[in-house]
Structure 1
Amino acid sequence: MSYLVLARKYRPRNFSEMVGQSHVVQALGNALSTRRLHHAYLFTGTRGVGKTTVSRILAKSLNCTGVDGQGDITAEPCGVCQACIDIDSGRFVDYTELDAASNRGVDEIAQLLEQAVYKPVVGRFKVFMIDEVHMLTNTAFNAMLKTLEEPPEYLKFVLATTDPQKVPATVLSRCLQFNLRPMAPETVLEHLAQVLGTENVPAEPQALRLLARAARGSMRDALSLTDQAIAFGSGQLLEASVRTMLGSVDRSYVFRLLDALARGDGKTVVETSEALRLNGLSAASTLEEMTAVLQRMAVLQAVPDRGGVDDADPEIAETARLAQTLPADETQLLYSLCLHGRGELGLAPDEYAGLTMVLLRLLAFKPSSAMVPAVQARSPASSLGSAAEPAKKPQPESAIAGARAVPEPAATASVAQPVPVAVPERSSSQNQGRKDAPAHVNAESVAINSEAPVGLPGVPAPAPRILPTAPAPLATTPLGDAWSQTVNQLVVAELVAALTRELALQSELRSQDEGMWTLRVERESLNQAAAREKLQAALQQALGDTAIRLTVEIGPVSDTPARRNAAALAERQRAAEEMIQNDPFVQDMIRDWGARIVPGSIRPLAPKPI
């Protein structure tokens, strides 16, 4: 006798054997028990979740005659009567399965519908099962609509598809739709253990976990992979052999990477990436395993008492330890970067180079506070600057020679292009006194009717409002005043650009000592030698002092030109909005005409360069 694969040998024969689809089993069982039977059913879901199996069990339930041949419609088909046996073997004359992937035209559907006029030959009902129904042509769908809506009382339609979005709404409205869900790895794991126990195949629990995860919610895929693993392992399932067969990355590499990322240890990260290359392990699989572990860590961080994971999994202890080591916000950031990094592997010179760049990106975006100790330990200049801080008093503003103040202009408002709205004519008495409306208020920025449509043909829509990012608490210092003025002068004169400009704007001047200037930045990525040298040269050119020498340390900052500029922008925005809202003409328009200020239409004028 030829070997029968596990996926066919252990196909459920009745509803009680169905795994992971209790919501569908309950609905169909109750409908069969109460005789509330619809004429058309649509089963949707991914591959291997039981769509065809449910269809066959439903056909047996409708046509089962029982052990004694006197049975009726039942939710528990006997499996031994002639109808049940014939349906299981695929030779029941009143049960027709049509593969719409290869029979998708109107002629095939017309040929099937021709059989609908004849009553069942041996069964109680005719059942037409159309698999992959979304593959039918539009003409074929239209041809079956009438029969699908009002079939004979002895005819039942069962449709199955993996893509219900492609099924016309006219068909969906004529069917009862049941969505078969992908199965959880725990459910697949439990079923595999039962099957292998029946087959007397020894299996390690961790090997079954690998197979359950690799199935991705499909029980058929899980059983097929188990068949392959049994053959690969010579009749037994060992974790090492299953991992080799699947090409899965050992979670020990993943835990090592996450631990190194938590500590900011770039050396270990690069070494582990190189070990993955030497062992020929998949870069995509590595990132996939990392996202799986990070997801479990995020759940453990949100629900520490439960975590939503299998407590019997030996990896849960290490996952829980990492969940306590890594902050929740960093866990979310790493998950997002790993998820998007998988899509970039195909664009890299090779997948291992792409993997290394993704891992280094995880370090680059790591908050600088977690990496300060390592940076200070290898930066003599930063340690000297930090030690000198307590002994030095803040320098006065005049300490920076040649620095000129950049005056802040008065808060004025400019109005973005709004949607023109026709203003009704007012009487002469109403118009009196309106000729002296202030020039800086544009009446078109006030919408007369809040229900007025926007985006009319040929009319530009109002520009979206871009609010400035709320700056961190700003603690100003005399050194910060002088440094901000100097940096703004360099920016206006275009003496700095790109990374050099960012270094100047994001840095805080900590001390000046005989030409040695110490800056502090939060991000290590800004501390580049080339940018530091260009900023030093720009300062020497602007201030005429060739004795200036820059050193940069890493640490928290509180008074930077960027934060001062953000605070100034926020203040100008607030003043501009207040000016418009308090303007008498605008207030009259709001009071007399029910007008409203278009959100986002008010913007402060940019300060004029000196």
Structure 2
Amino acid sequence: MAYLVLARKHRPKTFSEMVGQEHVVQALTNALTSQRLHHAYLFTGTRGVGKTTVSRILAKSLNCQGADGQGGITATPCGICQACKDIDSGRFVDYTELDAASNRGVDEVQALLEQAVYKPVQGRFKVFMIDEVHMLTGHAFNAMLKTLEEPPEYLKFVLATTDPQKVPVTVLSRCLQFNLRPMAPETVLEHLVQVLQTEAVPAEPRALSLIARAARGSMRDALSLTDQAIAFGNGELLETGVRQMLGSVDRGHVFRLIEALAQGDGKTVVETSEGLRRDGLSAASTLEEMSTVLQAMAVLQAVPARAEARDAADPDAAETVRLAALLPADETQLLYSLCLHGRGELGLAPDEYAALTMVLLRLLAFKPAGAAIAEKKTLIETPAAAPRAIASPAATTTEAPTPRPMSTETATEIATAAGAPGAPEPERQPVAARPPGQRLSVVDTPSMRDAAAAPRPAAGDVPASASAPLMAMPVRMQPPPGAREGEARAPAAPIPPSEEGDFWHATVTQMVVAEAINALARELALQSQLVARDVDQWLLRVERESLNQTSSREKLQGALAAMGHGIRIAIEIGPVVDSPARRNRQAAEERQRVAEEAIRSDPDVQAMMRDWDAKIVPGTLRPA
């Protein structure tokens, strides 16, 4: 006897054998038991969820004669009478199945409806089953409307479709509609275990879990994949063989990638991606597995109590719980979104593994603002510590700048402001000529005013080291960002005025108008805050590490040099409270506010609003 595939051999014969569609089974069972039968049924759902199976069981329930030949309409067909056997084998003369995908014209529908005038030959009811009914043409639908609305009492219509949106509403209104849902992987797994026990085929639970997930809610697909896996494994289902057959990625690779992304380890991410390329594993499967793990992690982060309820037999449960505690919740959500959207980008790239690497590295490039990782910051030394020059990211490979002497008056004010005990006042010496455009006078901050008011020691107690030249260090600084952090985050809080902010805004505006900078260099200038200026170096602060690119920094330095500022740029990462972009946005908001107030205070506008109940549509006012 020829081999019968599992999907056909284990097709349910009764409602009790169906799995995953309890809502449909219960409704039909109650209707058959009480004999409250509709004349037309419409079953919808994705492929392989049981639409045709339900139709055949319903036909058997309507025509079952019982084991003794005296049965009637029942919700539990016997399966041994002639009607049940003929319907199962496809030979029942009063049960007609029409494939609308290949018989979609009006002629085929009319030929079917011509049989409706004849009473059943063998059974109790005639049953017309039209599969993929949405494929019928408009004329075919119109031809069957009248019969579908008022069929003979012995005729039942059963329609099935995977796309109910394409079925005309005139047909939908004449049918009793049931939606068969995609089956959960757990439901598919449980059924596969029963099937393989019946077939006496050994199988590993992990292998069946892979097949259940790969079926994507379709029991027929799951049974077909099981047939393929049995052939691939020579009569047994092993996890390694099923993974190789499906091209699935081992969860170990996925866990390694997520842990590397949580720790900001780009090297491990790239090496793991190259390992997937060497092993020939699917890039799309990698992102799919990562999405599944990240979804489980997000649930654990939102509901920590779920960690205790996870299946202890699942070897991935403990690792998922560990990663959920390692990766912040906001980064979990961001990485999940990147994995979902990254699957659509794989087909656009010439190399899907390169696209996979870019999707994974995107999280490292766009870390959330509050990510708890070590950032590369260039901090300004406090005056109490040993003075040193500000180091830029490029300064590690270049020679340190030559120290420049500072005026003793300036050095003494810095030391006094730091509260150094016994800081002497050196002799006042003439200040050396400064290059044009570079200024080193100290900003009058509150801390310096308090230090200046403190008593100073006698001039004769100057130590010998005070006469040595001092290293250049920033002497023009804004107040610490933390002092105005709350104000900077407030949407309507004005930007506190500062000389550094005014100077940097004017300089950047001049470069943008002259088109001296563009692209990333322009974005770096607009989004940065000028923190300090020295004779040969300026310190900028930005909020995002992605703006701190060597090429952008060099282009900005070149543009400043063309304006007469021959300096080097050092960049630190931190909160920005005063940048040209923020000032431009604040100015635009102010112009918008003035324009709206001018319109609302206009006498003609007020008269229209008062007399004609006119309203100003929000968002339509623009300043001239």
SS at 1:296 equivalent:
helix
1:402 offset after TM fit, Å? 8.6
Task: Indicate yes or no: 2:609 matched with 1:590.
Answer: yes
Distance 1:161 1:184 in 2: 21
Residues 65, 83 of structure 2: 8 Å contact kept: yes
Report the equivalent of 2:514.
493
Partner of 1:512: 533
Offset of residue 384 of structure 1: 9.7
Shift of 1:270: 0.9
Q: Distance in 2 between matches of 1:599 and 1:273?
A: 49
Task: Give the conservation status (yes or no) of the 8 Å contact 1:99–1:132.
Answer: yes
Alignment partner, residue 446 of structure 2: none
Instruction: Please state how far the C-alpha of 1:572 moved relative to its aligned partner.
Output: 2.7
Partners of 2:507 and 2:278 in 1: CA distance = 52
Greater mean deviation of Cα atoms: 558-567 or 182-191: 558-567
- For residues 621 and 182 of structure 2, what CA distance do their matches in structure 1 show? 51
The aligned counterpart of 2:44 is 44
- Does residue 525 (structure 1) correspond to residue 546 (structure 2)? The answer is yes
Whether the 8 Å CA contact 1:520–1:555 is kept in 2: the answer is yes
Task: Say which SS state the counterpart of residue 618 (structure 2) adopts.
Answer: coil
Q: Conserved in 1, the CA contact under 8 Å of 2:536 and 2:568? A: yes
For residues 600 and 540 of structure 1, what CA distance do their matches in structure 2 show? Answer: 42
Q: For residue 478 of structure 2, what is the aligned residue in structure 1?
A: none
Alignment match, 2:271: 271
Aligned partner of 2:565 among 536, 545, 555: 545
Name the amino acid aligned to 2:331. E
Deviations 1:286-339 (A, max 9, x none): 122222222222222233323797664321222222222222222222222222
The residue that corresponds to 2:292 in the other structure is: 292
Residue of structure 1 in register with 2:462 after alignment:
none
1:381 corresponds to which letter in structure 2? S
**Of 566-575 and 82-91, the range deviating more from structure 2:** 566-575
Query: Is residue 259 of structure 1 aligned with residue 259 of structure 2?
Result: yes
Distance 1:145 1:371 in 2: 65
Q: Are 2:369 and 1:350 aligned?
A: no
What corresponds to 2:557 in structure 1? 536
Structure 2 counterpart of 1:118: 118
Is 2:45–2:162's contact at 8 Å kept on the other side of the alignment? yes
Instruction: For residue 98 of structure 1, give the secondary structure of its aligned residue in structure 2.
Output: strand
* Partner of residue 316, structure 1: 317
- Cα-to-partner distance string for 1:539-572 (whole Å, 9 max, x where unaligned): 2222x232x1111223332322222222232233
- TM (norm. structure 1) is 0.81
Secondary structure of residue in 2 paired with 1:324: helix
Q: Which moved more, 1:110-119 or 1:178-187?
A: 110-119
How many correspondences in the alignment?
Answer: 530
1:61-460 mapped onto 2 (5 Å cutoff): 61-306=61-306, 312-367=313-368, 370=371, 373=374, 375-376=376-377, 381=392, 401=437
Alpha-carbon distance between aligned partners in 2 of 1:224 and 1:475, rounded to the nearest angstrom: 69
Structure 2 counterpart of 1:63, which letter? N
Deviation of 1:585 (Å): 3.1
Q: Does structure 2 conserve the Cα–Cα contact (< 8 Å) formed by 1:284 and 1:342?
A: yes
Residue 574 of structure 1: how far off its partner (Å): 2.5
Q: Does the aligned pair in 2 maintain the 1:186–1:310 contact within 8 Å? A: no
List runs of 5+ in structure 2 lacking aligned partners: 380-389, 397-413, 419-433, 440-489
Distance in 2, matches of 1:271 and 1:371, equals: 24
RMSD of aligned C-alpha atoms? 2.8
Distance of aligned partners of 1:210 and 1:472 in 2 relative to their CA distance in 1, 3 Å threshold:
farther
Output the amino acid matched with 1:219. Answer: M
Tell whether 2:575 aligns with 1:556.
yes
Return the offset for 1:519: 1.2
Q: CA deviation at 1:483?
A: 2.1
Cα distance, 1:40 vs. partner?
Answer: 0.6
Q: Shift of the alpha carbon at 1:476? A: 5.6
TM-fit CA distance, 1:141: 1.7
Q: 1:541 to 1:384 in 2, by over 3 A?
A: closer
- Residues 91 and 254 of structure 1: is their aligned pair in 2 closer, same or farther, counting only changes over 3 Å? same
Contact 1:369/1:522 (8 A) holds in 2: no
**Structure 1 counterpart of 2:172, which letter?**
L
Relative contact order: is structure 1 or structure 2 higher (C-alpha 8 Å, sep ≥ 6)? 1
1:120 deviation in Å?
0.8
Question: Does 181-190 or 564-573 show the bigger shift?
Answer: 564-573
Alpha-carbon separation, structure 1, partners of 2:158 and 2:300: 42
Q: How far apart are residue 113 of structure 1 and its match?
A: 1.4
Alignment partners' CA distance in 1, 2:136 and 2:314: 45
Alpha-carbon distance in structure 2 between the residues aligned to 1:400 and 1:589: 59
TM-score by length of 2: 0.80
Amino acid corresponding to residue 167 of structure 2 in structure 1: V
Q: Is the 8 A contact 1:243 1:249 kept in 2?
A: yes
Task: State the partner residue of 1:422.
Answer: none
Look up the match of 1:417: none
CA–CA distance in structure 2, aligned partners of residues 350 and 382 of structure 1: 33
Structure 1 residue 508: Cα displacement: 1.7
